[in-house]
Chains A and B, each alone.
Chain A
C-alpha cells in the first residue's frame, strides 16, 4: 500500500468538509456543521497516520523537501483549526481555514514525494524540533490570517453563522500569541543547532534574516493588541500582512532567491 494513500483520503475528506461548510452557509444546519467537523477530524486522523508512516519509513521526521514541508504545514493547520473549533466552536470559519489547507495540499500534489536520505548535518534532534516548531508556528499564523480575513468579512456582513467580532478578535490575538511562542522556541533551537553546526548562532543568510523578520513582526503584533487604535480591524489587517511575510519567508525565498540556509 502506498504511504500517501491516507494523505489522499485526508485531502478528500477536507474537500468534502469544505463542501459541507458551503452547504451550511446557504442552508444553515447544525447537523451539517457537525458532519463537516467530523470530516475534518477524520481527515486529520488519516493525515496523522500517513505522517507517522512516512516518519517510520524515513527514520526521521520527513520535513526535508517542499512536498514534506507542505504536508506537515497542512497537518499542523488542521490540528490548529481543530484546537480552535473544539475549544471555541467557531463553526463555519472552518470554510476559510480548510480552503487555505486545500491550497497547501494542492500546491504539494504533483511534487516529488519521495523520502530522500538525510544529509548528515540534518541528522540531529534539533533539526526535527526546529522544523516542527516553525511549521506549528506558521500554522497559527495561517490561522490568524484566516481569522483576520473573517473579521473583515464579518465586520461587513454580520453573519450569525460566523463568530461575533469580539470573539474573532480574541481568537486572532490568541493565534498570534501561540504562533509567536512556538516560533520563538523554533528560533532558539535553530540557534543552538547553528552554533553546533557552523560555530555561530545567528546567520545573516536571507532565510535567517527573514525568519528574524517574521519573529520581529509577530513580537510587534503581540504588543499592538494593547494599543486601542490597532485593536480589531487594524489587527486583522496586520494578521493578513504578517502571513504575507510568512509566505515570502517560506516559499518566496526558496523559489525566487538563493540562500545558503540548509532548507531553502
Chain B
C-alpha cells in the first residue's frame, strides 16, 4: 500500500520532471557543437540512434540514458496516478478532464516508445522515376515512383512535389497514391512524405555517323551492316585506377564514362570503357561517335517511415486535447469551491 502511494505520489512526479528538465536542458546545449552526433537523431528511430551513434560517443551522450529512464519513470508514475483515480472514480469523476490529460500523456509517451523500439525510417530516399527502390530497413519491399512532377513558381521556387507512388511487397501492391507537400500517404503506421527532388545524369546524346542517338545503360543499337553496340553501364563521374579498375566518384556529372560491348560487321567482339573526355577507343572509330549533351532523369526523394506507435500516440493526443478542454471547465469549478488536493 505504501509502495502504491509512493508510485502515485505527486511529489515524486515533480522530482522526476525537474531532474529530466535539467538533464535535457544541459544535454541539448551540446547539440549545436556536435551536429554529426545529434543531427542523426531525426534520421532514424531512437533505438537505432542509441545503438549506432550514442553508444560510440558516450562522453557526449551519457546524459541521454538517465533522461530516458526518468521519462519512463514519469510515465509509470503518471499511469499509476491515473489508475488510482480510476479506482476512485465515483468520488473523483469531476476531475475527469485533468485525468484525461494524464491518460493522454501516458498513451503519447507509450506510443513514442513503441515507435522508437519497433519502427524504422528512410529519410529523403532518392527514388528514380520508373524504377524500383529497395527499402533497406524493410527487406523484400520496394518503393516505385511512377510519375513525378515538381511545381515551380514563376520566381523559380519549387512550390510542390507531386509523386505517384506504389509500395510493393515483392510483387504484391501494398499501397498506392499521390504524395504532395503536407499531403502524405498514410496506412497502418506507414507514412510517405515528399522530401526533395533533383535530376541525375543517366546517359549522353551522341552523333553516330551524323545521326543523333541516346546512349544510356541498356541501350542497344543494331546497325544495317550487322554491327551491334550495347551500353552496359553509364557512370557520370568515373576514373581509371592505377591497376586498371574503374573508380566511381560521384552521382554528379564529372568525367562521364560508358561501358560498351561492340561487335563489328566482321564479327570481332570488344568490351571496354569509353571515357567521354578522351577520344573513343580505336575499334569504335568506324562509328564516328561525337558526344553532344547529357541526358538527365528526375528523381523524387521521399521519406518513408514506419511507426507502430503512431495510432497510440494519436489516441493519446486526442484524449489530451479533450482533457485540456474539460480541465478548463473544472479549473474554474475548483476555483469556486476553493479545493486543493491532499498532498
Per the bound structure, the CA–CA distance linking A219 and B31 in Å amounts to: 24
In contact, B17 and A216 (Cβ under 8 angstroms): yes
B84 to chain A, nearest CB (A): 15
Of B88-96, B139-147, B263-271, B305-313, the stretch lying at the interface with chain A is B305-313
Partner pick for B112 among A184, A202, A226, CB 8 A cutoff = A202
Encoded as 1 (CB less than 8 Å from any A CB) or 0, chain B from 127 to 142 comes to: 0000000000000000
The reply to whether the CB of B321 lies closer than 8 angstroms to some CB of chain A is yes
Encoded as 1 (CB less than 8 Å from any B CB) or 0, chain A from 165 to 184 comes to: 00000100010011001001
In contact, B28 and A209 (Cβ under 8 angstroms): yes
Chain A residue nearest to B190 (CB atoms) is A199
The reply to whether the CB of B21 lies closer than 8 angstroms to some CB of chain A is yes
The reply to whether the CB of B331 lies closer than 8 angstroms to some CB of chain A is yes
Q: How many of B's residues come within 8 Å of A, CB to CB?
A: 49
In contact, A210 and B21 (Cβ under 8 angstroms): no
Chain A residues near B327 (CB-CB < 8 A): 181
Residues 113-130 of A at the B interface (beta carbon under 8 Å): 120-121, 123-124
In contact, B32 and A195 (Cβ under 8 angstroms): no
Supposing A199-B193, A200-B305, A209-B24 touch, asked if A223 and B13 sit within 8 A by C-beta, the answer is: yes
B168 to chain A, nearest CB (A): 19
Of B178-186, B223-231, B238-246, B249-257, the stretch lying at the interface with chain A is B178-186
In contact, B328 and A181 (Cβ under 8 angstroms): yes
In contact, B42 and A201 (Cβ under 8 angstroms): no
Of A3-11, A48-56, A185-193, the stretch lying at the interface with chain B is A185-193
In contact, B328 and A199 (Cβ under 8 angstroms): no
Chain A residue nearest to B309 (CB atoms) is A201
Residues 188-238 of A at the B interface (beta carbon under 8 Å): 188, 191-192, 195-206, 209-210, 212-213, 216-217, 219-220, 223-224, 226-228
Residues 298-343 of B at the A interface (beta carbon under 8 Å): 303-305, 307, 310, 313, 317, 320-321, 324, 327-328, 331, 335, 340-341, 343
In contact, B182 and A197 (Cβ under 8 angstroms): yes
A200, A210, A216: residue with the most chain B Cβ atoms closer than 10 Å: A200
The reply to whether the CB of B20 lies closer than 8 angstroms to some CB of chain A is yes
Per the bound structure, the CA–CA distance linking A229 and B62 in Å amounts to: 33
In contact, B11 and A216 (Cβ under 8 angstroms): no
A209 to chain B, nearest CB (A): 5
Chain B residues near A112 (CB-CB < 8 A): none
A155 to chain B, nearest CB (A): 21
The reply to whether the CB of B160 lies closer than 8 angstroms to some CB of chain A is yes
Chain B residue nearest to A180 (CB atoms) is B324
The reply to whether the CB of B18 lies closer than 8 angstroms to some CB of chain A is yes
Chain B residue nearest to A181 (CB atoms) is B324
A69 to chain B, nearest CB (A): 21
Partner pick for A227 among B14, B182, B307, B335, CB 8 A cutoff = B14
Residues of A that sit less than 8 Å from B by CB = 120-121, 123-124, 170, 174, 177-178, 181, 184-185, 188, 191-192, 195-206, 209-210, 212-213, 216-217, 219-220, 223-224, 226-228, 257-258, 260
